[in-house]
């Protein structure tokens, strides 16, 4: 059985972000069904319809190809002002445009939100889900993943076992979700 290619999109651009750390922890878990690969969004120019010409920015074209080529998506998002970061929203917009050329459509996805606050980026998780409904990404509903107090979850740089166990449970559920498509 071929492994499904899952594009991992991380909303935080900070090199040492907790979302990046959680994504890498999940990527380190063994999987016989899916292959997780980070698709970088840091250098994507802001979406501007005026740039939708015969030759759009090369970074847009390369990003769209990665999104089209994925069998599904796994998002890791922090929360900025009760919503997802602008870089993540920009990436969603780029791959859903121009109108009629949505690269995201009809594929499975999952959302993990990570925050230093106790709420676990609840607002960003749901803000991201709203956009995914419109671009037709079929998000896994359960288990939900709101990881709060992220700064306290890394003891000496190592993720605490309870959170590792949760990430593994989430990954197994996500594998099942992806297998349905």
Residues 79-116 have pLDDT tens digits of 999 999 999 999 999 999 999 999 999 999 999 999 99
CA dihedral 162, 163, 169, 175 (to 10 degrees): -160
Report d(CA 178, CA 23) in Å as an integer. Answer: 17
Residue 120 confidence class, pLDDT cut points 50, 70, 90: confident
Residues 25-61 have pLDDT tens digits of 999 999 999 999 999 999 999 999 999 999 999 999 9
Report d(CA 157, CA 177) in Å as an integer. Answer: 31
Report d(CA 124, CA 11) in Å as an integer. Answer: 10
If 0-12 CB within 10 Å is exposed, 13-18 middle and 19+ buried, where does residue 77 land?
A: buried
Closest CA relative to residue 124, chosen from 112, 142, 138: 112
Residue 1 reports pLDDT greater than 70: no
Q: Which tokens hold the place of 15?
A: 């090199």
Chain Cα centroid distance, residue 41: 10
Q: Which tokens hold the place of 69?
A: 């080529």
Residue 127 reports pLDDT greater than 70: yes
pLDDT of residue 155: 86
Is 6 within 8 Å of 70 (Cβ atoms)?
yes
Closest CA relative to residue 102, chosen from 56, 68, 72: 68
Q: Which tokens hold the place of 146?
A: 């709101």
Closest CA relative to residue 164, chosen from 49, 4, 22, 31: 22
């Amino acid at each position: 059985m071929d492994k499904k290619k899952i594009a991992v999109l991380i909303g935080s651009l900070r090199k040492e972000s907790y979302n990046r750390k959680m994504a890498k922890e999940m990527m380190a878990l063994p999987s016989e069904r899916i292959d997780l690969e980070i698709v970088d969004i840091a250098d994507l120019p802001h979406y501007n319809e005026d740039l939708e010409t015969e030759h759009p920015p090369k970074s847009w074209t390369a990003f769209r190809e990665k999104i089209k080529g994925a069998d599904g998506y796994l998002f890791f998002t922090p929360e900025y002002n009760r919503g997802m970061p602008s870089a993540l929203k920009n990436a969603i917009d780029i791959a859903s445009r121009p109108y009629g050329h949505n690269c995201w459509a009809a594929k499975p996805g999952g959302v993990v939100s990570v925050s230093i606050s106790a709420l676990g980026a609840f607002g960003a998780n749901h803000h991201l889900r709203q956009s995914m409904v419109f671009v037709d990404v079929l998000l896994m509903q359960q288990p939900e993943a709101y990881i709060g107090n992220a700064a306290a979850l890394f003891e000496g740089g190592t993720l605490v076992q309870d959170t590792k166990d949760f990430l593994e449970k989430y990954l197994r559920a996500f594998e099942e979700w992806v297998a349905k498509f």
